[in-house]
Amino acid sequence: MKTQVTALASIGRVPASVLAILLAPRLRGTLFFAEADTVIAGYRDQQDQLLVASQSVLDRAAAEKREMTREEKAEVDENSLAFDRLEGQIQSRLKVTAQAALLARPAGRQTDPNDPEAQPGDDPVRPRAADPQPHGGEQPRPRPQARQTVAGNHGFRSFGEFALAVRMAGSRGGETDPRLIRNATLSTFSSEGVGADGGFAVPPDFRAAIVEKVEAPDTILGMCDIQETTSNNMTFPVDETTAWQSTGGIQAYWAGEAAALTQSKPTLGQLDLKLDKLTALVPVTEEQLADAASMDAYLRKKAPEKIDYKVSDAIYRGNGSGMPQGILTADCLVTVAKETSQPADTLTSKNVFNMWSRMYAPCRRNAVWLINQDLEPELYSMTVPVKNKAGTENVGGSAVYIPAGGLSASPFGLLMGRPVMPHEVCSAIGDVGDIMLADFSKYLAVKKAGGIRVDTSIHLWFDQDTMAFRFIFRLAGQPWWKSTIARANGSNTLSAFVTLASR
């Protein structure tokens, strides 16, 4: 060992003390990087658990519409400090790993390149004043190109730059960017959390950007009651009894003086959800990768668009087999009948009033109208007729729909005071689901903690010089209610989800 260190140190490229470290059994080859990856992965898991715990506290306070208690705030602050301590440990290990990768690279040329500003006749190897010859005849180590580092994305400035680095690493004779090495995933075994052989995990900042688009407040998923889990299954206790229900569940009774109290007990059901997997496989050519900024914008736009539509469509009409249970196929949906002799493919003010009357009153303040965009002309002409004194002739009308802007001062039009949102998941005009009044806070959506997982591989289409980007999103969902609400006084049922029958 000592002889090897001395011999290699005599080359003049690496100090003997550094070579002794590099030649140690635990730091040679991939053993060092694998061990570092394992430790860092453990730290990341701990960070995930801390985030889930803090988010649970915040969600509980938000659900109860209150500020955090002193104990809850202390818990969140303590989790934040622990998260920062773990991040410091991770960054220190990443720095050492990058340094080891830099020293392990093959040696470059041993002579200085010609001065690009030298004139004919100049000595091309004459040392410049700004670059004095090191003592002892050592050749200067080539300085690594400066890179702009961005916190949270392992030094990559964009998704496109990351993809281009992966492509270069997979090319024959290509140089592996140290930023990829310190974020590399193991590829010698199969597991749920590892991509294809040769894959690199996408830096977390880019992954978070995609999740933010999919779960934006104006998307259907963003309006749902979103819960997170670290496993692929989640169970919820539920109580579907109403306040006016006279049997089953907790009951209240009037009692006379000194009379024995009547007992009752809760009636709880169980809601079990298994997360389903939504995937997108995106091939990207070498030409697209060469234009890093363009490819970055392309992936950031197209992948969230496709994932968002598939999620929205499943929440709206999914059959519950390998995908979330949709509202249109749920037992809690109320379908309002059309008017007698109503023309096909029309929407009347009476339809709207009847749908509004079937929405459970406490849900109205959160409800939105989802419509097929072809229904908008019907909304603009929708009025409540005003008759003459005798009640025999229409002499005017009052508008039912308020368009976006104008009186509503809103980006969405208003119908019965609630936003009207055109969406492509809605059925064709005249079919069930072309219009829906829904309180999506009564729809439970359970997603895997960490959001969308993104992996890359150069092997799938290697012969076509194309890289594969794989997006995986795990989600389960169904309405909180298993059935409609029976009235205390009245025959019509109520729900948080109301649609109109086919016309």
- In whole angstroms, give the CA distance from residue 17 to residue 10: 12
Q: What are the tens digits of pLDDT across the range 262-294?
A: 877 777 777 888 999 998 888 877 777 776 667
CA atoms of 35 and 170, how far apart (whole Å): 23
State the average pLDDT for the chain. Answer: 75
pLDDT reported for residue 40: 84
**Residues whose CB is less than 8 angstroms from the CB of residue 240 and which lie 6 or more positions away in sequence, other chains included:** 269, 481, 482, 483
Of the three residues 104, 131, 153, the one that is the final residue of a domain is 104
Distance CA(169)–CA(173), nearest Å, equals: 8
Give the position of tokens 């995908």.
323
Residue 254 falls inside a structural domain: no
Residue 200 lies in a domain: no
**Cα 474 to the chain's mean position, in Å?**
10
Is 145 within a domain? no
Instruction: Report the pLDDT value the prediction gives residue 370, as an integer from 0 to 100.
Output: 96
Rounded CA-CA distance 123/58 in Å is 69
What does each C-alpha distance from 284 to 153, 169, 211, 213 come to in angstroms?
21, 15, 21, 21
Which residues in the chain land under pLDDT 70? 1-35, 101, 103-154, 167-175, 180-218, 291-293, 390, 392-397, 405-411, 459-460, 462-463
Pair of tokens at residue 149? 């580092």
Instruction: Give one word for 350, left, alpha or beta, with left for phi > 0 and alpha for psi -120 to 50.
Output: alpha
Do 98 and 210 fall into the same domain?
Answer: no
**Assigned token pair, 438:** 């829904």
Q: How many CB atoms lie within 10 A of CB 122?
A: 11
Question: Do the domain assignments include residue 124?
Answer: no
Considering Cα of 445, then 447, then 449, then 455, what sign does the dihedral take? Answer: negative
Domain that holds residue 48: 1-104
Residues 94 and 211 placed together within one structural domain of the fold:
no
Instruction: For residue 46, tell me if it sits in a domain.
Output: yes
Check if the beta carbon of residue 179 is closer than 8 Å to that of residue 155. yes
* DSSP at 131: S
**Which amino acid, residue 345?**
D
3-state secondary structure 72-116: HHHHHHHHHHHHHHHHHHHHHHHHHHHHHHHHHCCCCCCCCCCCC
Q: Which of 196, 152, 201 is nearest to 181 (CA)?
A: 201
Please give the pLDDT value at position 205: 65
At CA 468, angle to CA 462 and CA 474, rounded to 5?
A: 145
pLDDT score recorded for residue 326: 96
- Does residue 323 lie within any of the structural domains? yes
Residue 198 lies in a domain: no
What is the spatial distance between Cα 313 and Cα 370, in angstroms, rounded to a whole number?
A: 12
CA distance 427 to 419: 19
The answer on 474 and 341 residing in a single domain is yes
What is the spatial distance between Cα 64 and Cα 121, in angstroms, rounded to a whole number? 82
Q: Is pTM, for the whole model, over 0.85? A: no
Last residue of a domain, one of 104, 131, 165: 104
Q: Are residues 284 and 404 in the same domain?
A: yes
Instruction: Answer whether 443's CB lies under 8 Å from 479's CB.
Output: yes
Number of domains the chain contains = 2
- pLDDT at residue 455, as a whole number: 80
**Do the Cβ atoms of 167 and 289 come closer than 8 Å?**
yes
Give the separation between CA 313 and CA 328, rounded to whole angstroms. 10
498, 481 in Cβ contact below 8 A? no
Residue that finishes a domain, picked among 83, 104, 125? 104
Helices then strands, each counted (H, E), the chain? 12, 16
Tell me whether residue 210 is in a domain. yes
Q: What is residue 48's predicted lDDT score, i.e. its pLDDT?
A: 82
Whether residue 318 sits in one domain with residue 454: yes
Residues 100 and 213 in one domain: no
Name, in order, each residue with C-beta under 8 angstroms of 44's C-beta and a sequence gap of 6 or more.
Answer: 90
* Whether residues 318 and 459 fall in one domain: yes
